[in-house]
Amino acid sequence: MRILMVSVDFLPSIGGVAAHIYNLSKSLSMMGHHVDVLYTNLSNDDSVRDYQLDGFNVREIHIKPNRVKSLRIIHRNRIIKNNIEEMQELRGNYDIIHQHDFLSSTFPCRAFSKKWIWTNHTSGFLKTFDKFYGKMLIKVLYNKVRGIISVSTEINEKSKSIFKNTTCFEIPNGVNNVDFNPEIIGNKASFGLSGKDYIILCPRRMVEKNGIIYLAEAAKYIIENDLIPNAVFVFLGNDESQSIRSDYVDKIHNTLSALDENKRRKHIKFMGNLPMSEMPRINAMADIVVIPSLMEAVSLSALEAMASGTPVVASNVGGLPQIIHNGVTGFLVDSRSSESLVNALVQASRSDMSKIIENAINLVSEEYTWSVVAKRTLEIYKKVR
């Protein structure tokens, strides 16, 4: 089968959508299918770069940003559509065109509606769904899609409420349990940390929906009151543009800047966007991973931590309760609550986590590997063709 993945997000972004496309493409190519990835990237030029990555082909399209949003959208849509047509001429017609963003590449994919599949990943869908015009907008834009794959029960149920006559499926994110496993050795010194440090890792982009500000508030309280000796809070990711400090990122930094300077330097580390190749080691190095999201599907970051044998504290939202069973495979906390985060982190730091770690590893290995996701996705491709 010939498959084209289309998105505005791909590696080296550390986001879950980028990792999903990479792992799904790699797994499908290992099963003998021809997979291409086409994605757009804001840049200072309009160049196109083709390269191979782990058994599949990637086309990276650079698009100059335009201050006028409507013109930027029209320009991007035209370029995506033209490149899909060009790739089909060069490489043969695709059996499936699989969209992985929300809205950004919808119009170009609509032009190939007989082979169009959409994976509904994002919080953008949930935000739009809750607006007074949202359901109608989504229905109009996606009325020609052949099938919708959702990565959590919440997203699937809301998709089905709009698309009553469209085939909707639920396939959660998977995890690469070869790269992410409890045998991986995480060396704290290689990340500039001490072996005595208790590492609390937040592997999330600094955007509002990820709830990082509540972890920052919790970190400040824990550090000021010395509730977890030798605690070091490690923040990954940047804001959405990955280059411009947003007001939200400034809010996070300002919250932590209220700490005594020596305490801040000792207990707070910002590591930015690490390469995906580093994520297995940093997950293995961490003592606990925090996913403080305000809305979320089945979080890939949480699954990667669980597969690595690192306990997870996560908000009780979206698809997170599907994988985090409180006190069994991790800890669930109230969203938008720094107090809940403080309590859970202190409890975790003082508890024997061996059983929780074992339960989490077993759950991931049985239900959430990429080989399982790829096989289920392939079954959907065949159903809708």
| 98 close to 109: Cβ distance less than 8 angstroms | no
The torsion region of residue 318 among left (phi > 0), alpha (psi -120 to 50) and beta comes to left
Helix extents (H) in 105-182: 106-110, 123-129, 134-141, 153-162
- Tokens encoding 129: 């769904």
Beta bridge partners of 338: none
- Tokens encoding 312: 């997870």
CA 19 to chain centre: 7
34 CB-near residues (< 8 Å, 6+ apart): 1, 2, 3, 56, 91
* Degrees, nearest 5: CA angle 78-88-60: 60
Measured distance CA(131)–CA(319) in Å, rounded: 21
Mean pLDDT of the chain: 92
pLDDT per residue as tens digits for the range 260-286: 999 999 999 999 888 888 999 999 999
pLDDT at res. 44? 80
pLDDT at res. 241? 43
- Report CA-CA distances (Å) from 83 to 36, 86, 89: 12, 5, 10
pLDDT per residue as tens digits for the range 136-164: 999 999 999 999 999 989 899 999 999 98
Using a 10 angstrom Cβ sphere, with 0-12 exposed, 13-18 middle and 19 or more buried, the burial of residue 210 is buried
Mean pLDDT of 322-327: 96
pLDDT higher than threshold 80 for residue 339: yes
Measured distance CA(272)–CA(67) in Å, rounded: 26
Nearest Cα to 8, choosing from 110, 91, 80? 80
Mean pLDDT of 339-363: 97
Amino acid at 224: E
Mean pLDDT of 28-46: 92
| 232 close to 265: Cβ distance less than 8 angstroms | no
pLDDT per residue as tens digits for the range 189-225: 999 999 999 999 999 989 899 999 999 999 999 999 9
Amino acid at 56: F
- Report CA-CA distances (Å) from 70 to 142, 317, 379, 382: 19, 33, 37, 36
Q: Where is average pLDDT lowest: 8-12, 121-125, 232-236, 340-344?
A: 121-125
Give the gyration radius of the chain's Cα atoms. Answer: 21
pTM for this predicted structure: 0.81
pLDDT per residue as tens digits for the range 365-383: 988 999 999 999 999 999 9
- Band the pLDDT of 41: cuts 50, 70, 90: confident
pLDDT at res. 213? 97
- Sheet bearing 56-63, strands edge to edge: 48-53, 56-63, 34-42, 2-7, 96-99, 116-120, 147-150, 167-170
